[in-house]
Amino acid sequence: MTLKRMDNVLIVVDDLEAAKAFFIELGLKLEGETTVEGPSVGSLIGLENVRATLAMMRTPDGQGIELDKFHTPNAIRFGPVDAPVNTLGIRRVMFAVDDIDAVVARMRAHGSELIGEMQYGESYRLAYIRGPEGIIVLDSGCRRTVVSFYGSSRNSCTPITAGVPVSLFLINCTSTT
């Protein structure tokens, strides 16, 4: 048996509406929203008396981010909302964008905080942005092959990883040559 794909990443949030608005403004689409509860859900995830609202967000290329708001049991905050990127756990999600300046400006206009920016020669540009729930996005602009943090090179820019609280890492792709 081989791994076929990554289907989605779960981000547990307290303010589901703010998190959905953040990802929609970034360019993801709301695929669907539902409430789940009951013993079968609880036995699947190892909790009792579960009731949660789920919102599935999709990138234009089909990658998924599932946003969950737990009504019962209450979500547990692990560390501060604005925890730094070197905090243990999965820390960020990376997205490719066409116009890093426009995305950063749009996200800042909607209340996101620009944490920092960096240019890697002529190859790509990065920007970390913090949104609701401690979600940090990184915009990056790649002009040629990008070497991922896992050591493999690729000719396209795609989401890499996500976490809670999570950083969102964006790559600005002007070309893939």
Question: Would you state the pLDDT for residue 177?
Answer: 39
> What letter would DSSP give residue 130?
E
Q: What is the pLDDT of residues 86-116, one digit of tens each?
A: 877 777 787 878 888 888 899 999 888 888 8
**CB neighbours of 119 closer than 8 A, spacing ≥ 6?**
125, 126
Beta partners for 130?
Answer: 113, 136
Q: What is the pLDDT of residues 127-153, one digit of tens each?
A: 888 888 888 777 666 543 232 222 222
Please check whether residue 138 is in contact with residue 125, taking contact to mean a CB–CB distance below 8 angstroms: no
Ranges in the chain annotated CATH 3.10.180.10? 8-72
Question: Would you state the pLDDT for residue 96?
Answer: 79
Say what the pTM is: 0.76
pLDDT-derived band at 53, boundaries 50, 70, 90: very high
Beta partners for 67?
Answer: 11, 55
Question: Would you state the pLDDT for residue 28?
Answer: 94
Architecture of the domain spanning 8-72: Roll (3.10)
